[in-house]
Amino acid sequence: MRRLFGGLVLLCVLLLVPPPIPAEAAAPVSAPPVKAKLKAESKPGAKGAAKPAAVAFNSSEDILRFIDGYRAKPRPDQLGAVVKAMSRLGVFKDVESAGVYLGFVAGVLAANQQKAEALVTAMFPMPPEDQVAIIKAIAYSGLTDWKVLLGKFVERMPARATLIDRYLHDKLPTLEKMGLEVGPAALDANWGFYFATGAPAAIRRIEAALAWARDANDVDKLTVAGMAKWTLAKNATRDTDLLLLLKRDAASQSKPVARELAEVVEAVETFELGKLRKDSIARIDELKQKGPESKRNASWWAQAGTTALALGCVTAAALGQVGFGIPCVIGGPLSTAASKLLIP
């Protein structure tokens, strides 16, 4: 029933441990361990806490470790360095597959409104082809004056003038207005925003997709709902704050969403996440068999991106577990990975 599409990696089981794994202990099997330089420098006689040393971003794993520890120890001063590293390491080559990173950058900007201009300035110089990421991150930040902020960098991104103009004139959606039916990219971006901020609004946008969990007419929406349900459950197994939020929302959301949230909470608390996957696959498979031909082809999956990422690489890494001993390609999107797992 499980098929690999284009060499995509399929992950059946993830062992998620509660405490975050230190950067020194986390190493992917495909690369030698890289130790992040986190030791703070101190000067004799200095007053107060020593200024933390800059973090070395030599690999995608280093970036994920930074995302992992960000909410516990925010380092907005390192945003410029991490964005440049994302560019250098090719994270932005396929912007549609970089949603989790774009959402994370947007979240850091959102949480640091007074420093936002300085944080964006530190991202330059940036190759023209990767400046798209900066533009989207600013637009996705939801800052009250994000258009003013974006306008300040028009002259530094002349090659991207058309894209900037479309955002400034509301011809392209912000994260808050982006429909989840567009596919994995929107889910990924909301997860990235949550990893940076812990904002309930990002989770509730993801929860909105659960209204399609029993859709009998649209396989695309049904699949997005399956991704949302699976990633909510996976992250909630390690994030107690998220689990508490899901419990509260299960008591206040609309009946269709509340029903799915109740199943997510039950799956997390009983460690039966496999049932969620099984149910999603069954519904998708049934609709593909009964639905029109236009909904049975694979074109939608193609646009989800070709980067192979074993389910949980970003999920686990962004919540504390980068190197858990399985091969995966770091740099792919979170929800796209979920979509690969849900393909029957």
Query: pLDDT digit string (tens) for 51-72?
Result: 677 888 999 899 989 998 899 9
Q: Is the model's pLDDT at 260 over the cut of 70?
A: yes
Q: Summarize the confidence of residues 31-49 as an average pLDDT.
A: 39
Q: Judge residue 317's burial from the number of C-beta atoms within 10 Å of its C-beta, 0-12 exposed, 13-18 middle, 19 or more buried.
A: buried
Q: Summarize the confidence of residues 125-137 as an average pLDDT.
A: 97
Q: Summarize the confidence of residues 318-340 as an average pLDDT.
A: 42
* Model pLDDT, residue 334: 55
* Model pLDDT, residue 308: 28
Distance CA 283, CA 269 (A): 23
Q: Summarize the confidence of residues 44-57 as an average pLDDT.
A: 66
Query: pLDDT digit string (tens) for 85-105?
Result: 999 999 999 888 899 999 999
* Mean pLDDT over the full length of the chain: 77
The encoded tokens of residue 207 equal 């929860």
Q: Please report which confidence band the pLDDT of residue 277 belongs to, taking 50, 70 and 90 as the band edges.
A: confident
Q: What is the dihedral of CA 231, 234, 236, 237, to 10 degrees?
A: 180
Query: pLDDT digit string (tens) for 174-224?
Result: 999 999 988 888 999 999 999 999 999 999 999 999 999 998 888 888 889
Query: pLDDT digit string (tens) for 292-322?
Result: 444 444 444 444 333 323 333 344 444 444 4
Residues with Cβ within 8 Å of 336's Cβ and at least 6 positions away in sequence, in order, are 97, 184, 185, 188, 304, 305, 307, 309
Q: Please report which confidence band the pLDDT of residue 336 belongs to, taking 50, 70 and 90 as the band edges.
A: low
